[in-house]
Amino acid sequence: MSKRSKFALITWIGENVSGLQRAKTGTDKTLVKEVVQNFAKEFVISDRKELEEDFIKNELKKAGGANYDAQTE
C-alpha cells in the first residue's frame, strides 16, 4: 500500500480580483513550480468551499490513482 505524502499546490485568488491581477499570479506560480516540482494536484481556488480540508483531501485521493483505503470504508 502506498503511504507516500501527497502535496497540493494551492493558489488562492479572491472573487473580487481583476483579470490582470489574476494573470500576474501565473508568473509567481511558475517560480514556485521551479522549486517545488513534486505535487499531486494543483488548485486555483476563489470559492471558500473549495478551500475546505475534506474537499482538498478527496481531490488528492482522486489524483493519487488507486484507492487502497477503499477496503476500510
Q: So what CATH class is 8-65? A: alpha beta
Query: How is the chain split into domains, by residue range?
Result: 8-65
What's the average model confidence in pLDDT over 22-26?
87
Q: Is the pLDDT at 27 greater than 60, yes or no?
A: yes
Containing 35, the helix (H) or strand (E) segment is: helix 19-35
- pLDDT on residue 3: 62
> What pTM did the predictor assign?
0.67
Q: How confident is the model at residue 60, as a pLDDT? A: 83
Mean pLDDT over each residue of the chain, to the nearest integer: 81
pLDDT at residue number 5: 66
Q: What is the mean pLDDT of residues 18-26?
A: 88
